[in-house]
Chains A and B, each alone.
Chain A
Amino acid sequence: MQPQSLNIAGIGKGFGADDVLKGIDLSIRPGEFLSLVGMSGCGKSTLLRIIAGLETADRGTVSIGSRDVTDVDPSDRNLAMVFQSYALYPHMTVRDNIATPLRMRRLSVWSRLPLIGRMIANAETLREIDASVKEAADVLQIGHLLDRRPAQLSGGQRQRVALARALVRSPSAFLMDEPLSNLDAKLRAHMRGELTNLHSRLGATFIYVTHDQIEAMTMSDRIALMSEGRIEQLGTPDELYRRPSTLTVARFIGSPSINLLPVELDASGEIVLFGQKLGITARNAWPGPATLGIRAEDVFPAADGIEASLVRTETQGADRFVTFNLICDPSISIVMRQRVGDDLGADADGNVRLAFSKEGVHLFGSDEKRREITVHEQVPA
């Protein structure tokens, strides 16, 4: 099956008085790995379930390729879904679990019955199904588990069975609803790599729902970041990281979280931080309060920086994250990323002066939208 594009137009959905989705438009290219990320309750799972056909939208359309599937049953959309709990059939062996989607499609109602079904069914079809099951099991390296039941498998193995069950039917697209969130941290990192490999090997369209920005950043071709039933920003992981279009995106993407500082814009648009001009001007922005976002890797110790007191250090192998509170406003904390062994330049009281690279700052207006900036040489105050 050729990878298919998916088009979602004007999807809206409400549960009771709440609008969970407020008009979602999204085109997914054939063969693309697209992640839907956001906090829980942002509507990402509902959107995925609407694409799958498990939920009906109040308005809007879903199409796969050029076919409008808005009113088509889930089983006729030719999509495969991997669930958070894996949703394996508990009483069936791994072999039967993987074979089920094919049996349901290729065998008649009578030949699907237990026991007598095998006698009625076309032997050729059964052989084909067995061969496809073996092939899918080999792709996911679970050939030796085929005769076990789900209860006898570990979380990672169940995950593989769920993936094999999805890919055995060569769907137009794979839908994944937080498939890694039940695994432990190490296995999760490993499965991220495997999913990426699987995606490039199959060349299929993947739609991946997660609340974990690291999963989205590491695997996706593009990310749609959702918040309160809307798509906040759609772009490559790099775009979301380097040019977050709103404060919500900036806060969500990146680990550790972006540092946020309250600033003022003066009449000329110059950014003023605690009474100090930074040599950065906002384009097209009116005076008033704003927020400055700075990533941890753009913070460094400097003799002419803002004074801050050391709170704690978290070493992560080669790098460490150092947390400070500002002296002028201790409620604001700043995280700095540094190579282990690099000097902090602390003074006698243990205080450090911090500066940041001006190219790395993100400015957000009082409406939380991104503002473009111009960096110029700082005028000594």
Chain B
Amino acid sequence: MAALRRYLPHVVLAAGAFVMLLPFYWMFLTSIRSPAEIFSVSLWPIPEKFAALDNYSRAASQVPMLRFMMNGVIVCFGILIVQVLTAVPAAYALAKLRFPGRKLLLTLVIAALTVPIQALALPLFVGLAKAQLLNTYFAMMMPFLLSVFAIFLFNQSFRSYPDEIIEAARMDGFSELEICFRLVLRGSLPSLAAFSVFSLVAHWNDLYWPMIVVTDTNLAPPPLGMLFFADVESGANYGALMAGATIITAPMVVCFLLARKHFIAGITMTGVK
């Protein structure tokens, strides 16, 4: 009975983890199998004919995979940098400065969290089209440059920064921007790590918006590139397709593993408040 109570949570959690990880495992498995084995339901990790080299080299050579990755890096970091540069001062002002309308602005930020990108897609598309900005990096980044989620997350974490340190800094001659980036953000590194992971993963994996504003293969980020790849291959070579998918998923996994400690601290911290 005691043993059951002790191990039951682990069993339940392991079952959950299995369900979450299975598609990724299947993706990886398919990427190293030969076309003959693709439709085998076996989960055995070692394929009869090891086709990894073939699949991966095909994925890397058939389409400009490096180019897609490069596009993804430019778009994701472009978005992330502008998001942090704009959200941090906004969150600092909302969390630590006293000015009329602060409560209203905070309410608007939270309200804006509820608006999905799909609702804005049409006006944004028309606007970008009129400005002749379709098929640019800017078009892919534009809707995400100001992140209300980032403002909300940083606001929650900046609130707990001690006021007396901010006041000491004012007396020492720090400007408000220096206080904001050199002290307050410095004290919220876990939140910054958590937000970076959220933002990078979301935009690296985003297919919806790039598909709307980009038709040029040279500008495609990885998921859109994969779509082009699938079109080129008519969806026939699943092995190579999954090899491509593995290649574009890997950076995100690495990114998460690097920031894992801070990421978890970041979301649990803001969760408690």
Pair A87/B170 contact, Cβ less than 8 Å: no
Q: Is the CB of B171 within 8 A of A81?
A: yes
Q: Is the CB of A84 within 8 A of B164?
A: yes
Known contacts A89-B183, A90-B187, A91-B186; A104/B165 CB under 8 A: no
Shortest distance between the CB of A102 and any CB in chain B (Å)? 9
A81 to B167, CA, bound (A): 9
Q: Tell me, yes or no, whether B173 is within 8 Å of chain A by CB.
A: yes
B165 pairs with A75, CB closer than 8 A: no
- Contact among A75, A87, A101, A114 for B164, CB-based, below 8 A: A87
Is B127 engaged at the interface, CB distance under 8 Å to the other chain?
no
Q: A158 to chain B: closest CB distance in Å?
A: 12
Residue from the list A80, A85, A91 in contact with B171, Cβ < 8 A = A80
Residues of B within 8 A of A84 (CB): 164
Cβ-based interface call for A287 (8 A): no
Cβ of A300 under 8 Å from chain B: no
Contacts of A74 on B, CB cut-off 8 Å?
167, 170-171
Q: Encode B20-45 as 1/0 by CB contact (under 8 A) with A.
A: 00000000000000000000000000
B172 at interface, CB cutoff 8 A: yes
- Within 8 Å of chain B (Cβ to Cβ): is A118? no
Residue in contact with A104 in the complex, picked from B162, B172, B187, CB distance below 8 Å: B172
In the complex, per-residue mask of A182-226: 1 if CB is within 8 Å of any chain B CB, else 0 = 000000000000000000000000000000000000000000000
Q: Which of A76-120 contact B (CB under 8 A)?
A: 79-81, 83-85, 87-91, 100-101, 104-105, 112, 114
A105, B173: Cβ atoms closer than 8 Å: yes
Q: Residues of B contacting A101 with CB < 8 Å?
A: 171-173
List chain B residues, Cβ under 8 A from A90: 165, 187
CB distance from A206 to the nearest CB of B (A): 16
CA distance A73 to B174 in the complex (A): 11
Whether B168 pairs with A75 at a CB distance below 8 angstroms is no
Closest residue of B by beta carbon distance from A78: B171
Q: Which of B13-71 contact A (CB under 8 A)?
A: none
Q: With A and B bound together, what is the CA distance between A304 and B174 in angstroms?
A: 69
Query: Complex: how many Å from CA A74 to CA B164?
Result: 14
Return chain B residues, CB-CB under 8 Å to A112. Answer: 178
- A52-B164 contact, Cβ under 8 Å, with A89-B183, A91-B186: no
Of B171, B174, B183, which is within 8 A of A54 by CB? B171
**B187 — which chain A residues lie within 8 A by C-beta?**
90-91
Contact A75 B183 (CB under 8 A): no
**Closest B residue, CB atoms, query A73:** B170
Which residues of A have CB within 8 Å of B178?
112
- Give the shortest distance, in Å, between A204 (CB) and chain B (any CB): 16
Which residues between 147 and 187 of chain B lie within 8 Å of chain A, taking CB atoms? 162, 164-165, 167-174, 178, 182-183, 186-187
Q: Which residue of A54, A88, A104 is within 8 Å of B173 (Cβ)?
A: A104
From A101, which residue of chain B is reached at the shortest CB distance?
Answer: B172
Rounded to whole angstroms, the CA-CA distance of A74 and B169 in the bound complex is 10
Asked if A87 and B162 make an inter-chain contact with CB atoms under 8 angstroms apart, the answer reads yes
Contact partners of B186 in chain A: CB under 8 A: 91
Interface string of B176-208 (1 = CB under 8 A from A): 001000110011000000000000000000000
- Quick one: which of A75, A80, A87, A105 has the most chain B CB within 10 A? A87
Q: Is the CB of A87 within 8 A of B173?
A: no
Report the separation of the CA atoms of residues A308 and B159 in the bound assembly, to the nearest whole angstrom. Answer: 56
Q: How far is the CB of B99 from chain A (nearest CB, A)?
A: 13
Known: A91-B186, A91-B187. A85 touches B164 (CB 8 A): yes
The reply to whether A75 and B173 contact each other, CB–CB distance below 8 Å, is: yes
From residue A80, how far is it (CB to closest CB) to chain B in Å? 7
Closest chain-B Cβ to A114's Cβ sits at a distance in Å of 8
| CB-contacts of A160-195 with B (<8 A) | none
Contact: B162 with A75, CB < 8 Å?
no
CA distance A84 to B186 in the complex (A): 22
Contact call B174/A87, Cβ cutoff below 8 A: no
When chains A and B are docked, how far (Å) is the Cα of A89 from the Cα of B178?
Answer: 13
- Beta-carbon contact of A83 and B168 below 8 Å: yes
In the bound assembly, the distance between CA atoms of A350 and B105 in angstroms comes to: 71
Contact yes or no, A54 B162, CB < 8 A: no
Chain A: CB-nearest residue to B166: A87
B172 and A83: CB pair below 8 A?
A: no
- Minimum CB–CB distance for A49 against chain B, Å: 8
Q: Do B174 and A104 touch (CB < 8 A)?
A: yes
CA distance A81 to B183 in the complex (A): 18
| Residues from chain B with Cβ under 8 Å of A79 in the complex | 171
Which of A53, A89, A114 has the most B CB atoms < 10 Å from its CB?
A89
B165, B173, B174, B182 interface centre (most CB from chain A within 10 Å): B173
Q: Is the CB of B164 within 8 A of A83?
A: yes
Query: Which of chain A's residues 255-286 have a Cβ closer than 8 Å to chain B?
Result: none
Q: Report, nearest first, the 7 A-B pairs whose CB atoms are least far apart.
A: A104-B173, A75-B173, A87-B168, A87-B164, A83-B164, A101-B172, A87-B165
Given contacts A79-B171, A100-B172, A112-B178, 13 further A-B contacts (CB under 8 A): A52-B171, A53-B171, A54-B167, A74-B171, A75-B170, A80-B171, A88-B165, A89-B169, A89-B183, A91-B186, A101-B172, A101-B173, A104-B174
Residues of A that sit less than 8 Å from B by CB: 49, 52-54, 73-75, 79-81, 83-85, 87-91, 100-101, 104-105, 112, 114
Residue pairs across A and B with Cβ atoms less than 8 A apart, 29 shown, are A52-B167, A52-B171, A54-B167, A54-B170, A74-B167, A74-B170, A74-B171, A75-B172, A75-B174, A80-B171, A81-B167, A81-B168, A83-B164, A83-B167, A84-B164, A85-B164, A87-B162, A87-B168, A88-B168, A89-B165, A89-B169, A89-B183, A90-B187, A91-B187, A100-B172, A101-B172, A104-B172, A104-B173, A114-B182
